Structure 1
């Protein structure tokens, strides 16, 4: 499965090359019969829409995101260039670039994390990575302290954001998440112990 993700947005904005049929419609996921039982595997991986085995034939690719966003540009799919043993090697840079621009737009609307804090977080991540290799118990002690910080500060921030939301401020755009996912995140931090 070819997917694109950012650390910050994770599954809420998971990108992929989406497919379009000749009529411009987006097909349903392809179902695979496992042989017995009522369980079916499904996939929206673009290479399954090859027209073989009574599957729909994709004619174009476009950027797609789990949040529902779909890219406007269409990229003709040249099945002659697809290696059936390694379809993931096919050039999907056009849809990927469109998804990258979608993510840049999400980031531009999200609340700004101060540069100094971003630099510090990057440094902490690097130092913890080194410490985990050199002195794993010391790394676990540091991680325990970070978990405490996340619990306490996360709860305070979640309560503040919930108060803002009651005042009419949407929280989703500030976190770069769909509103429902943003509310789940606030709930997760407000309930941490």
Structure 2
């Protein structure tokens, strides 16, 4: 049977299972302990887009906060520069898309080279994969994939 994370699809239609509760979940595999009862009459009255999912969303927000607290911090000046660059590129993509493409092309090599150097240096620290994964806020398989991808020559 096809599965989806769209909770509203589990309403019993076409022999689909009927969900009794909602629970926060993350692509990293985390699942919240709390179950939030689902009122299908309220869903029918309000529609799935208006149904109150704040309980599982709050659980997920707390999970993300917990993950971020365990990660290696990015220096504030780098965060500010990235935000400024993103805003400028977004504007440029609308106002002057060809200039935006040139700017993105100019960034590709230095970003790839910095990623390769950082990935190689991170592995040279000889830390366990789970330690690196925690520092990056990723699962261990995602961390391995990312570092291997970064380590390839640009």
TM-score, normalised relative to structure 2: 0.89
Moved more, 53-62 or 170-179: 53-62
Please state if 1:88 is matched with 2:42.
no
Secondary structure, aligned partner of 1:171: helix
Q: What RMSD, in angstroms, separates the aligned Cα atoms of the two structures?
A: 2.0
Contact between 1:83 and 1:90, CA under 8 Å: does it hold in 2?
A: no
Please state if 1:148 is matched with 2:97.
no
Q: Give the superposition deviation at 1:118.
A: 0.3
> Structure 1: any 5+ residue segments left out of the alignment?
1-30, 32-40
CA distance in 1, matches of 2:14, 2:127: 54
Partner of 1:184: 145
> May I ask how many residue pairs the two structures share in their alignment?
153
Q: Give the superposition deviation at 1:185.
A: 0.5
Partner of 2:36: 75
Query: Which one has the bigger strand percentage?
Result: 1
Moved more, 128-137 or 147-156: 128-137
After the TM superposition, list the runs of 4 or more consecutive aligned residues in structure 1 that deviate by more than 6 angstroms. Answer: none
Deviations 1:138-191 (A, max 9, x none): 222211121111111111001011112x34462101110001101110011111
Please state if 1:98 is matched with 2:67.
no
Partner of 1:22: none
Out of 158, 161, 169, the residue aligned to residue 122 of structure 2 is 161
TM-score, normalised relative to structure 1: 0.72
Please state if 1:114 is matched with 2:75.
yes
CA distance in 2, matches of 1:163, 1:131: 39
CA distance in 2, matches of 1:191, 1:129: 28
Partner of 2:18: 57
CA distance in 2, matches of 1:134, 1:156: 34
Contact between 1:49 and 1:58, CA under 8 Å: does it hold in 2?
A: yes
> Structure 2: any 5+ residue segments left out of the alignment?
none
